[in-house]
């Protein structure tokens, strides 16, 4: 199963968990599985975060593949002006 890590800003939505293991083949399916585990997190992940898969950062990652050995980090988007 993929190891999914959450930034500190997302841990309010995970009951304080920093990491979980999830089985999914794409980021989109991963978000669906996380929504089942943590109702309400899916909308936030789709709108307000970037995803790092095995060290590569994506801002539009819905269809990016996820393997059982993947390490996935959901990151808060940094905004500046």
The pLDDT tens digits of the residues spanning 3-41 come to: 999 888 889 999 999 999 999 999 999 999 999 999 999
Do strands 71-76 and 56-58 pair parallel, antiparallel, or not at all (unpaired)? unpaired
Residue position matching structure tokens 């975060």? 49
Domains of the chain from N-terminus onward: 2-76 (3.10.20.30)
- Banded pLDDT at 48 (limits 50, 70, 90): low
pTM above 0.85, yes or no: yes
């Amino acid at each position: 199963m993929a190891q999914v890590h959450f930034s500190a800003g997302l841990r309010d939505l995970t009951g304080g968990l920093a990491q979980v293991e999830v089985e999914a083949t794409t980021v989109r399916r991963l978000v669906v599985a996380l929504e089942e585990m943590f109702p309400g997190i899916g909308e936030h992940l789709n709108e307000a975060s970037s995803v790092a898969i095995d060290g590569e950062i994506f801002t539009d990652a819905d269809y990016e593949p996820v393997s059982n050995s993947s390490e996935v980090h959901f990151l808060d988007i940094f905004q500046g002006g």
